Homo-oligomer: A and B are copies of this chain.
Amino acid sequence: MSAAARSDDARAAVTGDALDRLIALVAKDLEAVNATIVARMDSSVPMIPALAGHLIQSGGKRLRPILTLAAAGLNGYNGSDHIRLATAVEFIHTATLLHDDVVDDSDMRRGKPAARMIWGNPASVLVGDFLYSRAFQLMVETGSVDILGVLANASAVIAEGEVMQLQASKNLETSEETYLRVIEAKTAALFAAAAEVGAMAAKAAPAKVKALADYGRAVGVAFQLVDDALDYSAASTTLGKNAGDDFREGKITLPIILAHARGAGDERAFWKRVLGEGQQRDEDFAAAVDLLSLREAIEDTLERARSYVKAAKDALAVFDDGPHKQALLALAEFCVERAY
């Protein structure tokens, strides 16, 4: 039984509402971010905005910039640096996606052909570099070296996480601990920094800045755990993802680590053939989904995600109740609920 088959309409409705409420709260700011994205990805070299725009304007959820905007709002900020920082965060994220698609030989992204399929790998690498640089230019405009430090550190950690993931690829001996280190680095570090710099722009007290960093990090881990579960779920098509991408690329994610560790000899031989050696036949993906179900690997991956959601919500205890806090609590829930 796939995760999608366990879908729960009532919960899905809550989910949509929650995200909608958050988006409504930051709607005006998000409009400003979208305008800044368009203005700042521009260049006298026409291929740059064409390629960057293909990805960045293809219906991404803007979760990371929303975190920056909401963190600033939660701390009563009313300047404009949070717009620049949210844009910088989205540029860093987009740069990593462009490079990831080259690294993973991906054909599709967000239900459309990956940029590299249209403009080629070289242009995707270089436009990614351009967006990284633009992100740092935007941060420079805020005049805060401390904020620059947080995002420069996050960028370095992301790159380290991606290299770790590359090395763990096809390695079925990857431990759950290593997997968690990888996703904390490649995904959660930017979620944490996104929320942290929003609070920093608002000059929030150190305890509040730290609370938002902790919140962002936990949300990021939950988000990636769910993403990795969704890769083996029929529900993923409705989210613009390609089910089976991780499988085809030999990525060793938590569902696989759990199913492999709990599996009998013939199951381990299966995982070794299809992921360790990359010998895949047409029917193998369906067989993999069945084994993950047999070993309750998706369920347990989602359970771990739920524990991170709880940690994320607990981190916000330092803040008084209010619409921004409610919306951030709901966003944390959304990260897991989208799996159902």
Contact = CB atoms under 8 A, between A and B. Distances in A.
A125 B99 contact: yes
Contact of A125 (B44, B45, B102, B149): B102
Contact of A143 (B99, B126, B145, B152): B145
Given A133-B152, A140-B148, A160 B44 contact: yes
Contact of A156 (B125, B130, B158): B130
A161 B153 CA distance: 26
A122 interface: yes
Nearest to A142: B145
Contacts of A148: 136, 139-140, 145, 148
Interface residues of A, number: 44
A129 B99 contact: yes
A158 B132 CA distance: 12
A287 interface: no
A167 B133 CA distance: 20
A139 to B, nearest CB: 8
Contact of A160 (B96, B130, B137, B158): B130
A130 B166 CA distance: 14
Contacts of A133: 152-153, 155-156, 158-159
A45 B279 CA distance: 28
Contacts of A102: 121-122, 125
Given A96-B129, A129-B159, 4 more contacts: A43-B163, A45-B167, A133-B153, A136-B152
12 contacts: A44-B160, A45-B160, A47-B163, A48-B160, A121-B121, A133-B158, A136-B136, A137-B153, A139-B152, A140-B149, A144-B145, A145-B145
Interface of A: 43-45, 47-48, 95-96, 99, 102-104, 121-123, 125-130, 132-134, 136-137, 139-140, 143-145, 148-149, 152-153, 155-156, 158-160, 162-164, 166-167
